[in-house]
Amino acid sequence: MTDLRRRKALGMLGAGMAFLAGCSNSSDETEPGDGDDSNSPSDSLDGELPSYASMLPATERSSYFYGAIDVETMNTLLQDEGAESGQEPTDPLVGNPVVVALLAAFGLQLLGSSAAFEAYTSNNVTANGEEQFVYADGVYALVGSYDRDALASDLESEGYTLESEGDAYAVYAAGGSDQVVGVADDVVAYSYPNGSDSTFDPLGAVERTVATATGDRQPKHETDDGFERLLRAGENGGIACCLYTASDQFASETLSSEQASDSDGLQFDFGAFEGARGVHQQLGVSGGTATANAVVTYSSADLVDRTRLESSLGADADADTLAFDGDGSTISVDATYGGSFATE
């Protein structure tokens, strides 16, 4: 797994949060952990869908990945005074969600360096702490509350060209930066051409996202029962990430390839989940303590590899808190990280 240096992580988060600080019309003061009561273990597969589930688009690909983090958790990470001197997260229960935080910071930097920045800062009416960052289908999205008509007007004044629209959304492109931006009342989504994937269509991906968010397309969970059950089984506060396939189990290249990357080579470690078809991870952070949860689903009980899970996950957790539970084709993992997560 790529090294995730805490100093660099905090620097990127700081840059992202400095960008967000001026984007809300309300105060930016928050309390660490306030409003996050979703760290208890999931006892059934009948839980709540995450609030952003309605914007996760269905695609034609078998494999699917998304990551999400709320702004309040970003604030909490920055307020951890010991974080910069902390140990590198080598445990995938912590490491995978931390990559999502870095990916969010990178996405915010991309938006902050574009001409869409002024439009976004002027027309974001989200109360601080309520906004969420979501990465899915190659698209960066901020889920909150926005003045869509004013956003569209400002983008046009910045030279963006209208490419497509529906009753509740519009998609714009900027030729100079190759950025594509989609706007709706609840979502600002944006993407760029992916140099490592010549088949990636940023315009189509952004349009899918905003069309899904506004109800013009069915979201992923409405088209795939297995995906919906996985989302309902997982915890959704703080930082979340999910890898899923409609096939019986993950293809080896899905587990070994980078689900998302930038020039710094951000990389996830999903090797522990070989043989599974879905994993949903969540990490909640407050001060120097982190609580992690993972739900792993298999297409049949015969494919469950509990030994692999137990030998690969939770190595850095407080020993008396690490728990593996479940039977049949679903396994849940819960752990708490104290000193080993925050400071040496």
227, amino acid identity: F
Give the pLDDT confidence of 207-241 residue by residue, as tens digits.
999 999 999 999 999 999 999 999 999 998 899 99
Check residue 89 and give its pLDDT. 67
Give the pLDDT confidence of 26-67 residue by residue, as tens digits.
333 333 333 333 333 334 457 899 999 999 999 988 899 999
| DSSP symbol at 146 | B
- CA–CA distance, 158 with 175 (Å, rounded to integer): 11
CA atoms within 13 A on the CB side of 272: 27
Check residue 335 and give its pLDDT. 93
Check residue 4 and give its pLDDT. 35
- CA–CA distance, 27 with 21 (Å, rounded to integer): 9
Mean pLDDT per 10-residue interval, the chain, length 344 residues: 41 48 37 35 65 94 92 69 54 87 83 87 82 93 94 94 96 88 96 81 96 97 96 92 95 71 63 96 82 95 95 90 92 84 42
Check residue 260 and give its pLDDT. 54
Check residue 222 and give its pLDDT. 96
CB burial of residue 40 (10 Å; 0-12, 13-18, 19+): exposed
Check residue 93 and give its pLDDT. 92
Longest dimension (CA), the chain: 59
* Three-point CA angle 261, 133, 287, nearest 5°: 95
